[in-house]
Chains A and B, each alone.
Chain A
Amino acid sequence: DIQLTQSPSFLSASVGDRVTITCRASQGISSFLAWYQQKPGKAPKLLIYAASTLQSGVPSRFSGSGSGTDFTLTISSLQPEDFAAYYCQQVNSFPRTFGQGTKVEI
Chain B
Amino acid sequence: EVQLVESGGGLVQPGGSLRLSCATSEFTFGSYSMTWVRQAPGKGLEWVSAINDSGGETVYADSVKGRFTISRDNSKNTLYLQMNSLRVEDTAIYYCARKMGSGTYPDDYWGQGTLVTVSS
A interface residues (Cβ-Cβ under 8 A, vs B): 1, 32, 34, 36, 38, 42-46, 49, 55, 87, 89, 91-92, 94-101
Kindly identify which residue among B37, B46, B62, B104 contacts A91, using a CB–CB cutoff of 8 Å.
Answer: B104
Kindly identify which residue among A49, A94, A95, A100 contacts B44, using a CB–CB cutoff of 8 Å.
Answer: A100
Residues on B with C-beta less than 8 A from A1 are: 62
Residues on A with C-beta less than 8 A from B104 are: 32, 91-92
Residue in B closest to A94 when the chains form the complex, CB atoms = B59
Separation of A38 and B97 alpha carbons in the complex (Å): 14
- A-B contacts besides A49-B105, A98-B45, 10 pairs, CB < 8 Å: A1-B62, A34-B106, A43-B95, A43-B113, A87-B45, A89-B45, A91-B104, A91-B106, A100-B44, A101-B44
Residues on A with C-beta less than 8 A from B59 are: 94-95
Interface residues of B in 30-55 (CB under 8 A from A): 35, 37, 44-47, 50
Interface size on B, residues (CB 8 A): 21
Separation of A91 and B101 alpha carbons in the complex (Å): 12
Cβ of B95 and Cβ of A97 under 8 Å apart?
Answer: no
Q: Given A43-B113, A46-B108, answer yes or no on A96-B45 (Cβ-Cβ < 8 Å).
A: no
Residue in B closest to A97 when the chains form the complex, CB atoms = B47
Q: Does B100 contact A (CB under 8 A)?
A: yes
B interface residues (Cβ-Cβ under 8 A, vs A): 35, 37, 44-47, 50, 59, 61-62, 95, 100, 104-108, 110-113
Q: How far is the CB of B43 from chain A (nearest CB, A)?
A: 9
Cβ of A46 and Cβ of B106 under 8 Å apart?
Answer: yes
Show 27 A/B contacts (Cβ-Cβ < 8 Å), sorted by A.
A32-B104, A34-B106, A36-B106, A42-B112, A43-B110, A43-B112, A43-B113, A44-B45, A44-B95, A44-B110, A45-B110, A46-B100, A46-B108, A49-B106, A49-B108, A55-B108, A87-B45, A89-B47, A89-B106, A95-B59, A95-B61, A96-B50, A97-B47, A98-B45, A98-B47, A99-B44, A101-B45
